[in-house]
Structure 1
Amino acid sequence: MKTWIAAVATALMVALAGPVLAQDSAGWSLAIHGGAGVIERGSLTPEQDAAYRAALEEALDVGAEVLDGGGTALDAVEAVIQVLEDNPLFNAGRGAVFTADGRIEHDAAIMDGTTLDAGAVAGLTRTRHPISAARAVMENSPHVFLIGQGAETFARDQGLEEVEPAWFFTERRWRGLVRQLEREGLPVPARPEGAPAEGAMAAVAPPLDERKFGTVGVVAVDRVGRLAAGTSTGGMSGKRWGRVGDVPVIGAGTYASNAEGCAVSATGSGEYFIRATVARDICARYAWELSYPESEENRAMAVEDVCSPDTACAGPRQPVHVAASEEMREVGDLGGEGGVIVMTAQGQAWFEMNTSGMYRGRVSENGERRVAIYADEED
């Protein structure tokens, strides 16, 4: 059970302070993920391992170019996710999983930490870049969340690129759906109209029975100190009845707030991330003084003074790694699995997962750069 210490008083302080940009920013910083799950050493061939690392490196290159050129955190988040949405290795955009009736439906969200503006979409089938549709909702509509045909119509009216549904098709995901439905004793739908002939699309990919939560996400802070977060996904393979997970739910799978000094993108079993309101809770844990288990390690790391002449005194902070770890522990207690990437206003990136792997990477203006896949790798 969450215990909030002086939460109301702190919330008032933060609200009165308004969006606070980092005064001691160490420059821009960006972190990405490409999904978490049962990704163990030996489950990927050397070629597959190399392909995923190369894809992560490419995405980091794009983000670094935007931020190094003076672009905003929002611009970097959108640009990087577009690259990941176009890469068939990931369950977002091209390469997304299929629903039980053989369709591909995309969800995405983006959030501006300086204003708390946010946009989200669900159930898109033709918009090439769902993350761009989410940003258009945020910037060009009075709403936060659009779904289905209405979201598609809005994206079209915004001039966003459309493609035929077959453009998103990958043989790997289709075979995975067929195997899943056969295993569950459910009917297998007809092969989608316009899909390439069977076997025509070869891609480096993990085994089809790999249990992985496919989502892509980015968190970033720019040189000015603006935070942003974005997430995009094809959702759960074999999903039914218009299921929507945590990705487009602001505060569950995606959240950014300069007032709280934190941005989060999540990947995992979405139903549990929604119930635990993971993304917002991590930022709240980081921003507010909490009660947490007494231990020598926690006592040594628990208090970080955030009072300064330039910012409102919001009380002691729980270190970001403790905030993320405690929140993921609660997800696990509910029965959920997955991971999160977290960015602070000072450019500190953190990765947390309760699975054996998560495709991930980070890059910053100070020269830090790293990609990783397995949980036991150094981030």
Structure 2
Amino acid sequence: MYAIAIHGGAGTIARASLTPEQEAEYRQGLEAALDAGYEVLQKGGAALDAVEAAVRSLEDCPLFNAGRGAVFTHDGHHELDAAVMTGHNRLAGAIAGAREVQNPITLARLVMEKTDHVLLGYPGADDLAREHGLPLQPVEYFFTQKRYDQLQDALKSGKSQLDHAPDPHRKKGTVGAVALDSQGHLAAATSTGGMTAKKYSRIGDSPLIGAGTWADERCAISCTGDGEYFIRAVAAYDVACLVEYKGLSLEEAARVVVQEKLVAAKGEGGLIAVDAEGNLTLPFNSEGMYRASRREGEEPVVAIYKE
């Protein structure tokens, strides 16, 4: 059995906020990323390769707040965060605040495989990418008019913004993937541009192992939403702990964290998770979450709103 799930961010995504054309574009972006990861698994590839392929596809798509579609900081540049983790050996790599690397998730994997460290920040993260010949891009590559307009709105209001919502103070934007391969190995990957107009090199949950990203021999989790709440809750690891120590199913463990613990703390968002049996769960407590999933022998599922 192999399986994969991806997300492209959670938040107040009302049906009225997207035109049919925009919704079709988002669905196409999700389908492309899902296909990229699923193809790796279908050919007998590793879960790590699958989640990297899926997230790279989302990073290259300007619709999502990661890589090319990353939001602007208060100072008008981009700060890219990402993390990857493999479950069978619990190795992990992450980067925070990178500004030049085209695919932050590949750089996070490089940290995991080619250094003795787990988390590297700017400017060292970009230096590592440069040393190993990863594709770098000029600032113009990361520019999108939509993100620039969001920055101007945020500067006028004097507030930092997350992504995906008509209310500028309730927006979330992250991409991620989790996968189980035919060898029984699990992996998780998460990537984000963070908050529009963020200051002081703010870092959210995405690159923090255990908060926004986690994988062990039982399950793999990638989170999206109000990063500060996910950090305080150690949300991704909490799901794994409920599975390991309390014996909950993956679905129930994820429900407790997303629908009970985060809601009680007023944290909005969701997560995607897969376990060693190929069970998938994609809960969220916001109005919508860009998401897609597929299990071996089954048709793909792509969704945006609450069903």
Normalised by the size of structure 2, how large is the TM-score? 0.96
Whole-Å separation in 2 of the counterparts to 1:358 and 1:207: 14
Question: Paired residue for 2:273?
Answer: 342
Question: Paired residue for 1:225?
Answer: 184
Q: Check whether the contact 1:176–1:208 (CA below 8 A) recurs between aligned residues.
A: no
**Structure 1 segments unaligned to the other structure (5+ residues):** 1-26, 187-204, 290-316
Question: Paired residue for 1:287?
Answer: 244
Q: CA deviation at 1:279?
A: 0.3
Q: Does 1:257 align with 2:216?
A: yes
Q: CA deviation at 1:210?
A: 8.5
Equivalent in 235, 247, 271 of residue 194 of structure 2: 235
Q: CA deviation at 1:175?
A: 0.4
Q: Does 1:32 align with 2:6?
A: yes
Q: Does 1:333 align with 2:264?
A: yes
Q: Which amino acid aligns with 1:281?
A: D
Q: CA deviation at 1:68?
A: 0.7
Q: Check whether the contact 2:84–2:94 (CA below 8 A) recurs between aligned residues.
A: yes
Whole-Å separation in 2 of the counterparts to 1:280 and 1:248: 13
Q: Name the SS of the counterpart of 1:89 in structure 2.
A: coil
Equivalent in 288, 293, 301 of residue 362 of structure 1: 293
Q: How many residues align?
A: 303
TM-aligned CA distance change 1:133 to 1:185, over 3 Å? closer
TM-aligned CA distance change 1:358 to 1:218, over 3 Å? same
Q: CA RMSD in A?
A: 1.5
Q: Does 1:168 align with 2:126?
A: no
Q: Check whether the contact 1:99–1:240 (CA below 8 A) recurs between aligned residues.
A: yes
User: Which structure has the larger Rg over C-alpha atoms?
Assistant: 1
Q: CA deviation at 1:212?
A: 2.7
Q: CA deviation at 1:185?
A: 8.0
Q: Name the SS of the counterpart of 1:288 in structure 2.
A: helix
Whole-Å separation in 1 of the counterparts to 2:74 and 2:261: 30
Question: Paired residue for 2:131?
Answer: 157
Q: Which amino acid aligns with 2:236?
A: A
Could you list the per-position Cα deviations for residues 13-72 of structure 1 after superposition, in whole angstroms to 9, with x for gaps in the alignment? xxxxxxxxxxxxxx1100000000000121211111111111111111111111111110
Q: State the identity %.
A: 50
Could you list the per-position Cα deviations for residues 262-295 of structure 1 after superposition, in whole angstroms to 9, with x for gaps in the alignment? 1000001101100000001101101222xxxxxx
Q: Does 1:272 align with 2:229?
A: yes
Q: Which amino acid aligns with 1:323?
A: A
Q: Name the SS of the counterpart of 1:255 in structure 2.
A: strand
Question: Paired residue for 1:320?
Answer: 250
Q: Check whether the contact 1:98–1:174 (CA below 8 A) recurs between aligned residues.
A: yes
Q: Name the SS of the counterpart of 2:187 in structure 1.
A: strand
TM-aligned CA distance change 1:257 to 1:102, over 3 Å? same
Question: Paired residue for 1:190?
Answer: none
Q: Which amino acid aligns with 1:252?
A: A
Q: CA deviation at 1:236?
A: 0.9
Whole-Å separation in 2 of the counterparts to 1:158 and 1:207: 40
Q: Check whether the contact 1:360–1:371 (CA below 8 A) recurs between aligned residues.
A: yes
Greater Cα shift, 245-254 or 362-371 = 362-371
Whole-Å separation in 2 of the counterparts to 1:235 and 1:181: 16
Whole-Å separation in 1 of the counterparts to 2:159 and 2:85: 40
Q: CA deviation at 1:254?
A: 0.2
Q: Check whether the contact 1:131–1:231 (CA below 8 A) recurs between aligned residues.
A: yes
Whole-Å separation in 2 of the counterparts to 1:54 and 1:278: 29
Equivalent in 85, 97, 100 of residue 59 of structure 2: 85
TM-aligned CA distance change 1:230 to 1:185, over 3 Å? closer
Question: Paired residue for 2:96?
Answer: 122
Normalised by the size of structure 1, how large is the TM-score? 0.78
**Structure 2 segments unaligned to the other structure (5+ residues):** none
Q: Does 1:58 align with 2:15?
A: no
Whole-Å separation in 2 of the counterparts to 1:324 and 1:67: 24
Aligned structure 1 segments of 4 or more residues deviating by more than 3 angstroms: 205-211
TM-aligned CA distance change 1:185 to 1:104, over 3 Å? closer
Q: Which has the higher helix share?
A: 2
